[in-house]
Amino acid sequence: MTIERIETATRMSRIVKHNGTIYLCGQVAKDAEQGIADQTRTMLEKVDSLLEQAGSDREHILSATIYIKDMQYFAEMNEVWDAWVPTGHAPARACVEAKMARDALLVEISVVAAEKA
């Protein structure tokens, strides 16, 4: 059973593949100075890009864990999320309020997906 690590650094790999399963490291917004909707949108664009690089897409996401700085942003984040998730392909999901690595960050996501057949 081979483990493939893509874009590996000292602390982490951006993508890890094992037995047809893809694990993405936590993704945050491209510009942390934006509001929650834009942060969520650009964060999900990064997920799309990494999934494509790994041989998958959003229809193959198995689970997602969303970390949100403050639950006051929950509804607005969900508007962007709901528009992004393909109908009939909603993954298992958890959303928790969490202290972020940088104060300006409002949202982060960790994704597990299956490779496309």
Residue with tokens 């960790």: 110
Predicted pLDDT of residue 117: 81
**What SS3 state is found at 89?**
coil
- pLDDT tens digits for range 68-115: 999 999 999 999 999 999 999 999 999 999 999 999 999 999 999 999
Predicted pLDDT of residue 1: 75
For the chain, count helices (H), then strands (E): 2, 7
Predicted pLDDT of residue 100: 96
The pTM of the full predicted model, rounded to 2 decimals, is 0.95
CA distances, 34 to each of 6, 28, 65 (Å):
29, 12, 21
Residue with tokens 């309020």: 97
* Number of residues written out for the chain: 117
Taking the CA atoms of residue 28, residue 33, residue 35 and residue 37 in that order, the dihedral angle to the nearest 10 degrees is -40
Using CA atoms, how far apart are residues 16 and 24, in angstroms rounded to an integer?
A: 7
Closest CA to 53 of 28, 24, 12, 78: 24
Q: What average pLDDT score do residues 44-59 get?
A: 98
Residue type at 5 in one-letter notation: R
- pLDDT tens digits for range 18-51: 999 999 999 999 999 999 999 999 999 999 999 9
